[in-house]
Amino acid sequence: MDINQVTHQIIGAAMEVHSTLGNGFQEVIYQRALNIELHQRGLSFEREFEMSIDYKGYNVGTRRVDFFVAGCVMVEIKAVVQLEDVHLAQAMNYLEAYKLETGLLINFGSKSLEFKRVYNLTHPDNKRV
């Protein structure tokens, strides 16, 4: 399955969760429900995947991404009324720190599900010639 198919499957799973639960719950509820949906769709993933953050060759700490799917897509979820620039910046920073190509930022807190594909512009697969 290529990366676009993976992101499509994740978005479909998130849509199912949002249509079933609606908005108004805490993030952890959506995280648990998305865990079930991803599993039912046969996607391989790790929840609350801890990754190291390096600075000039030194480990300066770790961060946990909500989901790491199919070994290639980072998924960060929120349960806020509206996504803000800081949420997008966080997702983009994670991609760069983890040296990943693509991620998803998904917000379950709004009336309609919000999602954004996030790209690491420094990743070799995303550089345009």
Mean pLDDT of 5-25: 97
Task: Give the per-residue pLDDT at 124.
Answer: 73
- State pLDDT tens for residues 65-80: 999 999 999 999 999 9
pTM, two decimals, is 0.89
Give dist(CA 16, CA 39) in Å, integer.
Answer: 13
Question: Which numeric CATH code is attached to 3-121?
Answer: 3.90.320.10
Which sequence spans correspond to the domains of the chain? 3-121
* Pairing outcome for strands 114-119 and 102-107: antiparallel
Q: Answer yes or no: is pLDDT of 104 > 50.
A: yes
SS (H, E, C) 7-54: HHHHHHHHHHHHHHHCCCCCHHHHHHHHHHHHHHCCCCEEEEEEEEEE
